[in-house]
Structure 1
Amino acid sequence: MTSPLEPVLEVRDLHVTFPSDDGDVHAVAGMTFAVHENETLGIVGESGSGKSVTSMAVLGLLPRSAKVTGSVKLHGHELIGLTDAEMQPIRGEQIAMVFQDALTALNPVFKVGDQIAEAIKVHHDVSGPDLERRVVGLLETVGIPNPKDRAGQYPHEFSGGMRQRAMIAMSIANEPAVLIADEPTTALDVTIQAQVLEVFERIQERTRSSVILITHDLGVVAGTADRVVVMYAGREVEMANVDDLFYNPRHPYTRGLLASLPRVDGSRLSRLNRIKGQPPSLIAVPSGCAFHPRCDDAEVPGRCDLIRPELRTIEQRHRAACHFAEQLPPLSTTDLSAAAGGEKTTDHV
């Protein structure tokens, strides 16, 4: 067991490379982060930034062709290098994952209750009425009405929001220490999104589990996370408590993401801000700062375009990888977190 001051999950200098005909794809390049008990860590970034690959590397679910180096420690025990057989008792029992697309993650030919029961039986010797009670209790925990009847139905008989809840029920069946949620609100309407996020909060209050929330939706992060890691081109470019990140972003990419949020108080005729250009190829990442071709603040030739900025502490509990992080002016005092959908008070380091 870890002490309250030690992280439950610690990732250090994680690299993931995939071979391809055009060259190696550097999907993750030196990720370092930790998550503590009862903490929600948000990981945000554009599609292709390496968020999901990071989570799959933690779980040991990447294809054999992937080259994974670095360190992933759960309760102080190293996971990198374990065989699939050695990882099997850890997956689902100590670390679980809510996958992005519940429709494809659930098996269409098995009843939902049977699939949840299977997740329990893999790790525990339980059957009969006791197993049925646990399954029904899990469906009730995630807010599915008439849980006993619903346990006997197939995935296609569930709505999108209910399928996502069923996936969450399966993931928490063994009360894992770490729950990884990969885009859990994608393709759900705003009302259902809020309900699904509420389920995560209730579960965390009951089990004190650590949650890693992977998303591109800053509104989800603002209302749910304690700390936020921003990824770009496979690297962490900024990490801060959620309030600090929204009110005082110290990387131009983070600032661009925040500035591109639709304004709830803006004019209907006003144009949305955007980040110019496209994310870089992970086969040929630009020299220097990977963001410099899209950055409005990269004005010093020979610096941003040639020298890669190291991730460094800018303020207490706030680090960024930008040569000019201290010189960037604050964003306007307008409440950006309100535009993103709310905020959450933080108390984690």
Structure 2
Amino acid sequence: MSLLKIEQLHVFDCGANKPIIHNSSFQVNEGECVALVGESGSGKSMTCKSIMRLHKRGIKQSGHIWLKGEDLSELPEKQMRSKRGKELCMVMQNGMSAFNPSNSVGRHLVATLNQHTNWSYEQIERKLVDTMRRVRLQDPMDIMNKYPHQLSGGMLQRLMIALALLLEPDVLIADEPTTALDTISQFDVIEQLMNLRKNTGSSMIFISHDLGIVKKLADQVIVMKDGYIVERGASQDVFFKPQHAYTEYLISTKRTLYEHFQKTIGGDVHA
């Protein structure tokens, strides 16, 4: 059953006087992970910001975005704000933009959980500490007392992931959630995202340049180029039987980089 449906999404940059997204349509079913792949500038992140209605001034969007049968495009900003968090949650590529620089990160996290749960302060604190440790954030209490500029991009990204794990949203949008993380932390975060889907049935939109992670996580793959959807289909079909030349290019480029890396370290490219 369709949980999230995007119809004829068009995004326009008024400052540059050019379209960014060209009438995109797709849907995310209950419990499904849909991956958006493509090179930088293909429109992946702009698509997700459109779903959340988080565009900066000068970026206009049209079309319809249905969440559980409700057209988010028609909602006033106050109502849309209430949807962000528990129903739609986004882990942004740039962690700094997700936090108020004038508040400690702990204050931000507590306020968000207060808005979307009926937990006591003690429960919120206990759950935050436990979940932060699950995503490899050491000294949780010390971290919560810090301001965003005092933390690295990777730490801020893990904080957003911890918050998403606690909120258990209907739809989690993860925009390059592992780019600022080391390899061990990447593994932990992917494992936590997989557990979130397994335990709560949350649907997911996943953006990543790492096609290996996409292949592991995604049920459906949407390939974007220059603001257009050029291919879509089940993950296995897209990776093993690509229909569009651009999809073949992405997959072959990933394979070439992998083989070069294996030769450099003296490994077996066929391993």
Q: TM-score under structure 2 normalisation?
A: 0.86
Say whether 1:90 aligns with 2:71: no
Amino acid at match of 1:239: R
For residues 95 and 28 of structure 1, what CA distance do their matches in structure 2 show?
21
For residues 158 and 187 of structure 1, what CA distance do their matches in structure 2 show?
12
- Residues 198, 162 of structure 1: alpha-carbon distance in 2 compared, 3 angstrom cutoff: farther
Q: Which residue of 1 aligns with 2:203?
A: 210
CA-CA distance at 1:156 after TM superposition: 5.9
Between Structure 1 and Structure 2, whose CA radius of gyration is higher? 1
Pick from 3, 6, 9 the counterpart of residue 4 of structure 2: 9
Question: Is the Cα contact below 8 Å between 2:154 and 2:180 reproduced in 1?
Answer: no
**Matched position secondary structure for 1:122:** helix
- Residues 63, 107 of structure 1: alpha-carbon distance in 2 compared, 3 angstrom cutoff: closer
Deviation string 1:177-234 (CA, Å, 9 cap, x unpaired) is 0010111112333332222211211222221101101122222212221111000111
Structure number with higher relative contact order (C-alpha < 8 Å, ≥ 6 residues apart): 2
CA-CA distance at 1:37 after TM superposition: 1.8
Pick from 203, 215, 225 the counterpart of residue 218 of structure 2: 225
**Matched position secondary structure for 1:43:** strand
**What is the aligned-residue identity percentage?**
38
**Matched position secondary structure for 1:34:** strand
Amino acid at match of 1:244: D
For residues 62 and 18 of structure 2, what CA distance do their matches in structure 1 show?
14
For residues 222 and 195 of structure 2, what CA distance do their matches in structure 1 show?
23
Unaligned runs of 5+ in 2: none
Structure with bigger helix share is 2
**Matched position secondary structure for 2:2:** coil
**Matched position secondary structure for 1:176:** coil
**Matched position secondary structure for 2:248:** helix
**Matched position secondary structure for 2:167:** coil
Instruction: Give the root-mean-square deviation of aligned CA atoms.
Output: 2.6
| Equivalences, count | 265
CA-CA distance at 1:83 after TM superposition: 1.8
Structure with bigger strand share is 2
Deviation string 1:5-39 (CA, Å, 9 cap, x unpaired) is x2110111111112135xx3211111111111221
Q: Which residue of 1 aligns with 2:237?
A: 244
Where do 1:1-349 residues align within 5 Å? 6-20=1-15, 24-107=17-100, 110-124=103-117, 126-145=119-138, 147-148=140-141, 150-155=143-148, 160-261=153-254, 262=256, 264-265=258-259, 268=263
Amino acid at match of 2:164: S
Deviation string 1:269-297 (CA, Å, 9 cap, x unpaired) is 8xxxxxxxxxxxxxxxxxxxxxxxxxxxx
For residues 45 and 258 of structure 2, what CA distance do their matches in structure 1 show?
30
For residues 71 and 123 of structure 1, what CA distance do their matches in structure 2 show?
25
Unaligned runs of 5+ in 1: 1-5, 270-333, 339-349
Question: Is the Cα contact below 8 Å between 2:15 and 2:58 reproduced in 1?
Answer: no
**Matched position secondary structure for 1:15:** strand
Q: Which residue of 2 aligns with 1:3?
A: none
For residues 155 and 67 of structure 1, what CA distance do their matches in structure 2 show?
29
CA-CA distance at 1:72 after TM superposition: 0.7
CA-CA distance at 1:145 after TM superposition: 4.5
**Matched position secondary structure for 1:188:** coil
